[in-house]
Structure 1
């Protein structure tokens, strides 16, 4: 009888490890890479990682994903909510939020799936804990007191979180926020700064959500670009170069003069630059609003 698909993949990756092509400490193929390279479902890829871990070939390390095991393995610490959240963050950083599941985390931690529910209720709660944890790592020091400097510092901190962890923007909600301490701290800083600036009370939340939407929207774009680059190996500038002829062909019809004029100029695809420009534009708008009757 032929081996199951996951067993064949396990055998191939094990051969890479034993032959030295993958050395101790190297990143092992992630679940996303396994689904792409072998054309299998995410559940099968997760089973592959579980089997490799069970064979003692790989370990999961926060911030590094699944790596080839090196040396003698240390005794795992006791299961806790913080350890579960950290493992989930590592999985999301490597493979995105869809790869995060109680079963996958249990596999990574060498624990029973049901034991996780003693510390975390469900995936929805877990995702919000993850977002709040990574936000807390960035939002530590009090921002400057002047309202504009405070907003510039605070909003940039949230953007930094989205860049470090591309899945965060997907985890955040404008309309259904969860009561989490660190993200509430971010909102408090923004609202307090706007209040100090003298913005009318009925506009505080509207401006706050507008700034938040600027970060989240670009964060979703950052996530999409990060996964596209990982899946294809092609950066956005290279992708545009590959499609330039098609854009020129359609533009040559003369039906898009404004677009043709704009793209004839040097155009930056840098999302950090887009973020900074948008933030400056929004805060300039707040200043003008403060100066109007």
Structure 2
């Protein structure tokens, strides 16, 4: 069965739908509408985005927007494709080595969440693929399947992308939720954990938690870069997969990154 909403979104994204012959207000365009919607989401969260709210931001009547966008569902699809294009609009060059490509994918995906926290609220399991999404995937594949690529099957290569994105989403969720909690409560992370210290000290002194009590003082130091640590371990695991898939028995000279985890710092 054909999904009318998806078809409408695809027509708008790829420019195959009918365009208004005459705008209700000079200068009102689909691009301006999407820009305004993204601005509202960035400033006030996804719940604040509505056709009425975006129209108010643009200084037009709500019905004016419906000449360009059928509804909020299609508008959200356009917003997703718009922000997805940010990851390569300034630097579209893709690293030639697969490990650097994965690193760039992870870091750009994290930056996208940091710039647009509302993305965590969007169900992207069945995203409508517009020009930005397809171009981003093409650029990523050019690094993963190029001359210095991974040498994996197509399903495995897509599996790598999903794995990396899932890792970054988890880290981004933790970071964004921590920032939101501090903003909503007015209590900083440091104040939050300091408030628990007396209770935790008593618990550790009880002898019931010997392994936790033995942890070093810097175990939870804020200076430790958990994102890079996890990304490097993920890259090391993929390195093993690449070596095995290419039959290198651990000696993959083409994919040498001079020190395993240190390869992530090449970019």
Q: Please confirm whether the aligned pair reaches a TM-score higher than 0.5, indicating the same fold.
A: yes
Residues 172 and 284 of structure 1, relative CA distance in 2, 3 Å threshold: farther
Displacement of 1:242 after TM fit? Answer: 2.1
Q: How far did residue 217 of structure 1 move?
A: 1.7
Q: Which residue pairs with 1:166 in the alignment?
A: 117
Determine the structure 2 residue equivalent to 1:157. 108
Which secondary structure does the structure 2 equivalent of 1:243 belong to? helix
In 1, the alpha carbon distance for the partners of 2:29 and 2:223 equals 40
Name the structure 2 match of 1:95.
44
Provide Cα deviations, 1:152-203, integer angstroms capped at 9, x if missing partner. Answer: 1232112111112211233362x32221222333333333433321123331
* Paired residue secondary structure (2:156): helix
Instruction: Give unpaired runs (5+ residues) of structure 1.
Output: 1-75
Matches within 5 A, 1:256-275: 256-262=209-215, 264-269=217-222, 273-275=225-227
Count of residue correspondences: 216
Deviations 1:213-253 (A, max 9, x none): 01222222233223223222333233222222233344444
Higher relative contact order (CA 8 A, sep 6+): 2
CA contact (8 A) 1:143 1:150 kept: yes
Correspondence for 1:73:
none
Post-superposition CA distance 1:232-285 (Å, at most 9, x none): 2333233222222233344444444334444743313469x2222221111111
Write the distance in 2 (CA, Å) between the matches of 1:149 and 1:201: 19
Any residues of structure 2 matched to 1:3-14 within 5 Å, and which? none
Question: What is the match of residue 12 of structure 2?
Answer: none
Given that residues 97 and 167 in structure 1 are in contact (C-alpha distance below 8 angstroms), is that contact kept between their aligned partners in structure 2?
A: yes
Q: Deviations over 1:96-128 (max 9, x none)?
A: 111111121122222222221222232222223
Correspondence for 1:184 among 128, 134, 143: 134
TM-score by length of 2: 0.71
Q: 2:229 aligns with which of 269, 277, 281?
A: 277
Q: 1:217 to 1:97 in 2, by over 3 A?
A: same
- Tell whether the 8 Å contact from 1:191 to 1:208 is kept in structure 2 after alignment: no
* Matched ranges for 1:41-52 at <5 A: none
Gaps of 5+ in 2: 1-24, 248-267
CA shift in 2, pair 1:99/1:277, >3 Å:
same
Contact 2:77 2:128 in 1 (8 A): yes
CA change 1:122–1:236 in 2 (3 A) is farther
Residue aligning to 1:117 = 66
Q: Is the 8 A contact 1:154 1:186 kept in 2?
A: no
TM-score (norm 1): 0.65
